[in-house]
A and B are shown apart, each in its own frame.
Chain A
């Protein structure tokens, strides 16, 4: 009884795999055909093709897929960035002569084409890069289960992503950036403008008069940038601001160890206002001759200082809930 059951399973399995093997060449072709429609070789999938050719078992080719929302009414900035990155990797792969005997298809699945799927799988954050490796045949990976590629500063760059994928599949992948003429143009214009500005300043402005103020402003700006966590942003490249599920904007990341880019800008401005109040109180207020005016301006600056510092304090309290001291604002 038991033996026959095993036997039946075996037969079933063989038949199934035979069918799927015949289907395999067909599947790959379908995907490749889709890919060849796109100039970068990025196949645009929909839910049927995805279910039929990507998530199936026993396939001898690998699929690298982005889950994304590129339609403008989703306003997904990161999606576009990742799309660009994936496209340059896919384009490089398409152009590459030596593919090391690997069949890798790059694809894109937009939420508009697969809304039910996204809902079913409870995919609530995009963009994501999913990898469905080959699990059969000579190209099969040791661990062929589908996986997600973590997106960080490194893998979001074309070269980094290509390297990561190349390491995974054991093949050299060369990312290819499409030439960005607009960038060249802007760079050229910026450089020309800078040279022109330097020339004009050199001809018409007395640098000795200007010197100290310019230097002090530049120094203070630099120090403000640094002390408001700018380097952290450069290294960790956080999102510009957060969003709740309902789409509201969050300005401040709720934890102590994270920050959004916009929040560092706000903090830098509050530092600057506080500083400015102190400087004004010392340098400018005493010069006002009229007592009424002077008193009024003094009170204004003190009020501005207290309010700004209270704001800073309340933001800090939000970041570190255990912080016990507060000033005016909660």
Chain B
């Protein structure tokens, strides 16, 4: 046992192995997130990351003070946006710090590359943090398994591939790390670790709105422990330190401000803080007065406090001192709420509830290891395990309600699965006592040592145990050895026979783990590695064709329009427009002003003249629409159009109605059978203007599989640019006519546009 390899003792060997394994896990975690960079290029993905990237560039160029006080007049025209006060600056500050540090070391890295590779780097850190969390709650085996799982689980990769430069990229690391520090501070009862938890929490608050999950889960853990009668001074020290420092620190973020003192989301933490003070005081009193009287006292006190506390909370909420739950959080509890009251939340696909294939897609076998992990946690049920169980419960609920929250479920599923698999390994990788087996005399001892009670036995203890067994086994052997024994009675066969099931179980589990890894790689490469800014299609011969319409169009805007031109588009493209085209937008992905978004929806859904009037009043120079009919790109504006109508209708109820856009047979048609409202709407015209000419007489819409409208007229707007695959179409809002005519008269006078072109 105590053999030295490379001059290292057994303990050193294991720690070396652990470090090596963790290093490999980190490499795999980073590596599996690089598909998109290898296939496409180092480019920022999707929508929100473009805002983060733009602000990071601003921070690097202008310094922290200017960034903090930045008022962006090019967004939400004409309202503008106080950027410094309305964002979570964590991710920008992190990238800027890395950038500055690298430049201080004379490593000239472009800021874009820092941003692109930030999330993969942090995923390696997440794996390491998960290892420590697993080690804290069980042992190093569970920790390593959990780290390996979290490194490749698609549920987390979906938000952290290279180029997906979003808050979640660093927030999941902070979430796991905060929980690890919290558990350690509870175990040690150390104010130092409590303070470290608070600092990590502060970093999390600065990075992601999901910090609310931490500030509710930790108090819940404390409350559950109190309710189970597990109050201890360790808990008191840990929570009091964490809450005070954490709350004060979180209030330094302008976007959070004084919210921790008055919003409902933070009230649980405050209430638990008060409660633990009372419990501590009661414990102190208990030492001073006789137990009978104490019991009466405590019952009265609990009842009174509950009534006062609950009543106070209700009264304060009713009177508006404590802000009621914000819409997004409310929709988590009452799941029908968003659908009826806030279409803008319901319209986002990642806010939809989760169907089971999504869980299996993102977590594969981990999803059925989770209940097993919960069971094992219940067997031990230390303070740590109470936390793990609560985390599983709430994360599972939230993940069920919203697809995107699978992200917060993933770490706990990985830890639980790590615990479950580690338990299996513990029993079935232990071959020390299989030599002595089927001797009836030995059975009792045998079974006992097989169970290996209280998992963490010292090594020396175990060896002694197995030595004892093997000696007793050899003592029993000679009896049989004297006679000629059959093959099945031979000790070598017997030990093989006793160990066989262990091989089978382990082989089975290892195969499952391999399958898990294949699954993760396949999901990552096929589902989560597309930048969505650049698309790819495959020709029949397998060669790749890159579709780069978005960047083409944004670059055209950047180069060919005035720098102060205002571009109207649906809010999905606001951040990309600001980031890539550098032009003023009316609405963007920061959906803070529903009215303004509804106005844009109204412009797009109105008829041409109303829209022209409204667009001119909002100083719009260009209108941009995304149109997928040529390529069959289903995420285009016509498919989003119903949401635009719904949102507009919610704010301007006296205009059009959703039903008007369905034709007489109740279909959402776009061709000649479309309803008049649909055919006259600006969106329809901008999308299908001159499209039928290009597609020829037998053309049809490749997304909606319908025939094209035969004639689309457009007088008030002028086609300015259409990208290679017609995905992005940009129109100029015409100036007023010099002679004061309206544009319909002008085009009737001048004739169709293309004949005019021929004449010149």
Q: Name A residues whose Cβ lies closer than 8 Å to a Cβ of B.
A: 143, 145-148, 150, 153-154, 167-168, 212, 215-216, 219-220, 222-232, 234-236, 256-259, 263-264, 267, 270-272, 274-275, 278-279, 281-283, 286-292, 294-295, 298-299, 302, 305-306, 309, 312, 316, 319-320, 322-325, 327
Contact = CB atoms under 8 A, between A and B. Distances in A.
Given A212-B381, A229-B355, A259-B357, A278 B372 contact: yes
B356 A229 contact: yes
B217 to A, nearest CB: 15
Contact of A316 (B360, B370, B396): B360
A325 B526 CA distance: 14
A259 B393 contact: no
Interface in B361-411: 361, 365, 367-372, 374-376, 378-379, 381, 389, 392-393, 396-397, 399-401
Would you list the 10 A-B pairs with minimal beta carbon distance, nearest first?
A: A145-B664, A229-B356, A231-B400, A298-B501, A216-B378, A274-B368, A226-B400, A226-B396, A275-B371, A148-B666
B505 interface: yes
Contacts of B378: 212, 215-216, 219
Interface stretch (B118-126, B440-448, B559-567): B440-448
Contact of A235 (B336, B437, B500): B336
A232 B437 CA distance: 51
B82 interface: no
Given A148-B666, A227-B356, A236-B353, A295 B500 contact: yes
B355 A281 contact: no
B420 A278 contact: yes
B64 interface: no
B522 A325 contact: yes
Given A227-B356, A282-B424, 16 more contacts: A143-B676, A150-B666, A153-B339, A220-B371, A225-B400, A228-B356, A229-B355, A229-B359, A232-B353, A234-B335, A267-B356, A267-B360, A275-B372, A282-B376, A282-B426, A289-B446
A275 B356 contact: no
A222 B356 CA distance: 14
Given A143-B660, A147-B662, A258-B355, A219 B393 contact: yes
B427 interface: yes
Interface string B35-64: 000000000000000000000000000000
A227 B359 contact: yes
B365 A309 contact: yes
Interface string B478-514: 0000000000000000000110110011001000100
B447 A295 contact: no
B423 interface: yes
Contacts of B518: 325
Given A150-B666, A231-B335, A305 B501 contact: no
Interface of B: 335-336, 339-340, 353-361, 365, 367-372, 374-376, 378-379, 381, 389, 392-393, 396-397, 399-401, 420, 423-424, 426-428, 437-438, 443-444, 446-447, 450-452, 497-498, 500-501, 504-505, 508, 512, 515, 518-519, 522, 526, 657, 659-660, 662, 664-666, 675-676
Given A229-B400, A264-B356, A281-B424, A216 B375 contact: yes
A235 B515 contact: no
26 contacts: A145-B664, A148-B665, A153-B339, A219-B374, A219-B392, A222-B396, A223-B393, A223-B396, A226-B399, A229-B356, A229-B358, A234-B335, A234-B353, A256-B357, A257-B357, A270-B368, A274-B369, A275-B369, A281-B427, A282-B420, A287-B450, A289-B446, A291-B498, A295-B500, A309-B512, A316-B357
A201 B368 CA distance: 32
A227 B400 contact: yes
A215 to B, nearest CB: 7
A280 to B, nearest CB: 10
Contacts of B526: 322
A223 B392 contact: yes
Contact of B451 (A286, A290, A309): A286
A229 B358 CA distance: 9
Say what secondary structure dominates the interface of chain A. helix
Contacts of A234: 335, 353
A313 B423 CA distance: 24
Most buried by A among B356, B397, B501: B356
A232 B501 contact: no
Contacts of A299: 501, 504
A223 B388 CA distance: 13
Nearest to A282: B423
A270 to B, nearest CB: 7
A150 B665 CA distance: 11
Contacts of A258: 355
Most buried by A among B354, B358, B365, B368: B368
Contact of B372 (A227, A256, A279, A295): A279
Contacts of B659: 143, 147, 168
Contacts of B515: 325, 327
A144 to B, nearest CB: 9
B667 to A, nearest CB: 9
Contact of A257 (B355, B420, B447, B662): B355
B396 A275 contact: no
A291 B400 contact: no
Given A227-B400, A230-B400, A291-B438, A324 B355 contact: no
Nearest to B356: A229
Nearest to A234: B335
A124 B611 CA distance: 41
B360 A312 contact: yes
A225 B399 CA distance: 12
Given A289-B446, A324-B522, A222 B401 contact: no
A220 B424 contact: no
Contacts of A220: 371, 374-375
B338 to A, nearest CB: 10
B371 A223 contact: yes
A231 B368 contact: no
Contacts of B397: 222, 226, 231
A305 B519 CA distance: 18
Contacts of A287: 447, 450-451
A49 B683 CA distance: 42
Nearest to B664: A145
A231 B353 contact: yes
Nearest to A306: B508
B374 A223 contact: yes
Contacts of A222: 393, 396-397
A222 B666 CA distance: 40
B27 to A, nearest CB: 24
Contact of B371 (A235, A257, A272, A320): A272
Contacts of A150: 666
A211 B374 CA distance: 15
A322 B359 CA distance: 17
A143 B674 CA distance: 13
Contacts of A324: 522
B654 to A, nearest CB: 12
A309 to B, nearest CB: 7
Nearest to A128: B666
A286 B400 contact: no
Nearest to B653: A167
A143 B677 CA distance: 10
Contacts of B340: 154
Nearest to A230: B400
Contacts of A295: 497-498, 500-501
Contacts of A306: 508
A26 B181 CA distance: 81
Contacts of A302: 501, 504-505, 508
A150 to B, nearest CB: 7
A289 B396 contact: no
